[in-house]
Amino acid sequence: MKILYGVPGEGMGHATRSKVVIQHLLKKHDVHVVASSRAFQFLDKQFPGRVSEIKGFHFAFKDKKVSKSGTFMLNLRNLPSNLNHNLERYFELEKVFTPDLVISDFESFSYYLAKYHRIPVISIDNMQVIDRCQLNIPIPREQKESFTLARNIVRAKVPTCKQYFITSFFDADIKKANTQIVPSILRDEILKLKPSARGHIIVYQTGTVAASMSEILNQVADRSFIVYGADKESTIGNTTFRRFSEDGFLDDFAGADAVIANGGYSFLSESVYLRKPVLSIPITSQFEQFVNAAYIEQLGYGRHFSTLTADHVKAFLYDLDTFNTNLKSYQQKGNDVLFSLLDDYLGAT
């Protein structure tokens, strides 16, 4: 079967997760990928000759928060050139690859190509939980606007797919047809790790690390912290800053007693799989991150706060034993569930 796989470029989580699924599909199928931005750069190296670059949607940030007006203006400004570029890619692709099926990881170009040619579409991503499931978490008043906006965006992104596979580290009641929740997609690098507890806490920030980070963490006695994301190498008190390296990070991650991070889905999923308690500080105005962080707390896997303070870190660490006990109940056998369901679906298509 010929499969077109669409991957968005906003954040690297989509790309790293899609790589896992694409590798599995290539064992039996002919797969071509369309991706934008950093996702294209990453996947083009993984699957040379199989990836076409498109232009996609991007978020604009102000003071480390998602700017709704800035995001709108950024994408509006880029719309004409992006459309021209994508039309060129469309006509090029049409000459060399005619898919039997499209899989979209929350990506629009592949979706609209499928709809235009009446090709079946499968959705594989985590975002659909916001629209296709009942979220069993309290949504505070200050998150209501973000919730409505996020749900409308998710609902409009890839509607009326033949099947939706929602990847998730938590369960939720499904409220729409043709929808199934599957365990989170995990990289081979994570599956190979052997978790331990070597006494340190990993602090993982995908954005700029605040200058006050060491001041906050140095107030937490008898704990050592390893911070990734500051792009520097130094040690201040009990806090060590390290530049990112894949092997170094994975080793520190595997040996961490716990993790502190924002609400990004990929890292939180990996943390839960490795049974690492999580202190989550979701990025403001990103409702998906709020959902992930809220479920971490509801499941008893950690805590979530809107800001990082020494008192919040201490409160989190006080209940570490409880979080460790709760995480023991989490079970996941790699990516077997998704791969089995996907193989069954493709075999019946």
In 171-245, alpha helices (H): 188-191, 213-217
Contacts for 190 with CB less than 8 Å, ≥ 6 apart: 250, 270, 273, 274
> How far apart, in whole angstroms, are the C-alpha atoms of residue 295 and residue 169?
9
pLDDT tens, 187-235?
999 999 999 999 999 999 765 455 588 899 999 989 999 999 888 899 9
- Three-state secondary structure call for residue 217: helix
Contacts for 21 with CB less than 8 Å, ≥ 6 apart: 5, 103, 124, 185, 338, 342
- Three-state secondary structure call for residue 99: coil
- Beta strand pairing status for 133-134 and 173-174? antiparallel
Contacts 24+ apart (CB under 8 A), 180-183: 180/341, 181/129, 181/133, 182/337, 182/338, 182/341, 183/332, 183/335, 183/337, 183/338
pLDDT tens, 247-305?
999 999 999 999 999 999 999 999 999 999 999 999 988 999 999 999 999 999 999 99
Q: Can you give the pLDDT at residue 10?
A: 74
- Asked if the model's pLDDT at residue 77 lies above 80, the reply is no
Q: Can you give the pLDDT at residue 86?
A: 53
- Asked if the model's pLDDT at residue 169 lies above 60, the reply is yes
| Nearest by Cα to 239 from 250, 229, 251 | 229
| Nearest by Cα to 294 from 143, 125, 133 | 143
Average pLDDT over residues 105-120: 90
Average pLDDT over residues 72-82: 41
Question: What tokens does 284 get?
Answer: 């403001």
> Which stretch of 117-131, 225-239, 248-262, 311-325 has the lowest confidence by average pLDDT?
225-239
- Three-state secondary structure call for residue 178: coil
In the chain, alpha helices (H): 13-25, 37-46, 68-96, 108-117, 129-132, 144-157, 188-191, 213-217, 246-254, 265-273, 287-298, 310-318, 320-327, 336-348
